[in-house]
């Protein structure tokens, strides 16, 4: 999704992220066992760490791909892939939006199980397991991309 079409933001706290990643682990129990986890960098790193802890999987690798520059969708660039067809592997990313990243990774690892915490409608058919669906015009703000700052008082925000 590009900046122009994103109309609302959905901030996610560390606590919420942790809770949702644990919920994902619970759901994935039925789809395993998995021989290892592949985190899609960078967004999949934190969710993959939590799922690896919950599923007691110590073999964790990365599939390094860059699709967005800030909020602008581009051509996905593979910086590091994974050998093989993905048999027995669990791929974790933070979300699917347009599905461009997921389509690329699935093409490389067709036998792997693909899981995300969040899914938007366009990317949803590309994910095997996810926890929360958000609308296509929502931009999810992850805790690693945000910092607390002073908020403008409500009275000052009201147009008179």
Ligand X SMILES: O=P(O)(O)OC[C@H]1O[C@H](OP(=O)(O)OP(=O)(O)O)[C@H](O)[C@@H]1O
Ligand Y SMILES: Nc1nc2[nH]cnc2c(=O)[nH]1
- Which of 1, 39, 43, 127 lies at the binding interface for Mg ion (CB under 5 A)? 43
Under the binding rule (CB under 6 A), the answer on residue 144 touching ligand Y is no
d(CA 50, CA 43): 13
Angle formed at CA 125 by CA 124 and CA 129, multiple of 5 degrees = 65
CB 67 → ligand X: shortest distance, Å? 3
**Residue numbers 57-76 binding ligand X by CB under 6 A:** 66-68, 73
Comparing CA positions, the residue from 44, 25, 8, 12 lying closest to residue 129 is: 25
- Minimum distance of Mg ion from residue 99's CB (angstroms): 12
Quick one: how far is CA 1 from the chain centroid?
14
Active site residues: 93-94, 97
Q: Which residues bind ligand X (CB under 6 A)?
A: 40-43, 66-68, 73, 93-102, 123
């Amino acid at each position: 999704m590009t900046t122009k079409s994103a109309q609302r933001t959905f901030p996610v706290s560390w606590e919420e992220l942790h809770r949702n990643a644990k919920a994902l682990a619970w759901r994935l129990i039925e789809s395993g066992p998995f021989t290892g986890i592949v985190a899609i960098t960078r967004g999949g790193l934190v969710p993959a760490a939590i799922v690896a802890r919950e599923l007691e999987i110590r073999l964790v690798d990365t599939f390094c791909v860059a699709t967005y520059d800030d909020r602008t969708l581009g051509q996905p660039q593979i910086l590091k892939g994974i050998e093989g067809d993905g048999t027995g592997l669990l791929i974790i990313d933070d979300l699917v939006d347009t599905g461009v990243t997921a389509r690329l990774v699935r093409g490389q690892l067709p036998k792997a199980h693909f899981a995300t915490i969040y899914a938007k409608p366009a990317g949803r058919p590309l994910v095997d397991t996810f926890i929360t669906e958000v609308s296509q015009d929502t931009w999810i703000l992850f805790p690693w991309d945000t910092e607390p700052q002073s908020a403008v008082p409500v009275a000052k925000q009201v147009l008179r």
